[in-house]
């Protein structure tokens, strides 16, 4: 079978946010994954597959048939989750061939374990079975997958860079799922006629002769791939000044974002951008560039109202207690300050 050549990421017309978010995710998977939203035909899947030319090398480990461990440095792979995937396909389950031929139970890995140290792409994530989505997000958060069948269990490592895409016309993601994605990209359809014409011409050129078209972008693509590798090496040395950390937290609070994943995504993506720019210090520009990607779609009017109602109710309780209890009640002696009292003092 002929190899399917990906459309170069840098050949996409426009879409700077999309390209930036995907590149930053390759540099720092700790930013929490990328969710790409947009209508059909705007290049969501094309962009993700274009990352194949940019994949950094990572340490892959495996066991041979004799159970001996092996390892080698290889480029990250793109693992695509089929829309019709069953929960057992995703998490893992019983090896049916071994069960039939050898009359024994062998638990085998699923797609999540195959995605370990790779990029897992989930297209139309808003249409997946909720149980499958939960398994994916749990593995992404914990870095491992537990396969359980009756009394038997087996643990597989599942650390991966998660990219999801969706068309909001087909339905929204639940808030608890949306919150798990660090960066959120809205892919705006090209509006200028010249941009759309250029996109058509590039698509035609690629389909006419993929190899020749890719050759025209080979030098730029190779340079970007080297930059990604360099940025991954720089990333551990990148620091964020304290005042920018404080500004970032103030920004999150000013926007009334309840989830603490917001500041993690913001600061980790800012570190990735600094590394991509060959710097070891985050700047205010990094925060400004990343903030829309990390903080959009995070404010919840319902949570804000719920918190306000609880605060008002707490004030009523405190007022009632103050009216009933004597403020001069003598203190009771205790042997030492308890941990519970220390925790209460943090409130």
Mark whether 49 is an active-site residue: no
What is the model's pLDDT at position 102? 64
**249 and 219 in a common domain:** no
Torsion sign over Cα 212, 214, 215, 217: positive
User: Do 250 and 155 share a structural domain?
Assistant: no
Q: How much is the pLDDT for 217?
A: 95
- Give the pLDDT of residue 147: 75
Q: How far is the C-alpha of 253 from the C-alpha of 307, rounded, in Å?
A: 14
How high is the pLDDT of residue 266? 96
110 and 254 share one domain:
no
Q: Burial of 68 by CB count in 10 Å (0-12 exposed, 13-18 middle, 19+ buried)?
A: exposed
Residue 305 lies in a domain: no
- CA 20 to CA 36: how far, in whole Å? 12
pLDDT at 72: 76
The DSSP letter of residue 110 is -
In a domain, 94, yes or no: yes
Using CA atoms, how far apart are residues 162 and 115, in angstroms rounded to an integer? Answer: 9
Residue numbers in the chain where pLDDT is lower than 70: 1-3, 62-67, 93-107, 150-151, 299-304, 306-307, 326-329, 332-335, 339-347
pLDDT of residue 95: 61
Assigned domain for 300 exists = no
Average pLDDT, rounded, for the chain? 85
Domain encompassing residue 191: 9-233
97 and 246 share one domain: no
Among 154, 261, 279, 289, the active-site one is 261
What per-residue string of b and e applies to 103-129 under the rule 16 or more CB within 10 Å gives b? eeeebbbbbbbbbbbbbbbbbbbbebe
Amino acid 319: pLDDT: 82
Bridge-based pairing state of the strands 92-94 and 107-109: antiparallel
């Amino acid at each position: 079978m002929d190899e399917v050549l990906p459309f170069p990421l840098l050949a996409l017309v426009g879409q700077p946010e999309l390209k930036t978010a995907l590149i930053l995710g390759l540099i720092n998977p700790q930013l929490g994954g990328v969710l790409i939203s947009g209508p059909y035909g705007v290049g969501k899947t094309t962009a993700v597959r274009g990352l194949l030319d940019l994949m950094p090398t990572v340490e892959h480990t495996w066991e041979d048939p004799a159970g001996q461990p092996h390892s080698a440095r290889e480029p990250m792979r793109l693992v695509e989750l089929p829309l019709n995937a069953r929960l057992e396909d995703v998490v893992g389950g019983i090896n049916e061939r071994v069960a039939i031929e050898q009359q024994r139970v062998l638990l085998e890995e699923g797609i999540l374990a195959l995605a370990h140290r790779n990029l897992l792409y989930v297209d139309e994530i808003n249409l997946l079975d909720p149980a499958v989505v939960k398994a994916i997000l749990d593995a992404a958060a914990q870095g491992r997958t537990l396969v359980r069948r009756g009394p038997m269990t087996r643990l597989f490592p599942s650390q991966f860079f998660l990219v999801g895409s969706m068309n909001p016309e087909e339905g929204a993601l639940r808030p608890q799922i949306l919150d798990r994605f660090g960066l959120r990209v809205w892919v705006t359809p090209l509006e200028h006629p010249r941009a759309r014409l250029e996109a058509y011409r590039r698509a035609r050129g690629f389909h006419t002769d993929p190899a020749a078209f890719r050759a025209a972008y080979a030098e730029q693509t190779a340079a970007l791939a080297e930059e990604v590798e360099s940025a991954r090496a720089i990333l551990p040395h990148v620091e964020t000044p304290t005042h920018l950390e404080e500004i970032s937290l103030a920004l999150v609070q000013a926007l009334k974002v309840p989830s603490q994943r917001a500041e993690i995504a913001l600061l980790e993506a800012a570190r990735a951008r600094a590394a991509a720019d060959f710097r070891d210090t985050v700047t205010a520009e990094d925060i400004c560039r990343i903030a829309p990607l990390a903080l959009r779609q995070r404010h919840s009017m319902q949570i804000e109202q719920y918190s306000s109602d609880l605060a008002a109710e707490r004030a009523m309780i405190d007022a009632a207690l103050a009216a009933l209890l004597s403020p001069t009640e003598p203190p009771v002696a205790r042997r030492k300050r308890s941990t519970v009292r220390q925790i209460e003092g943090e409130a």
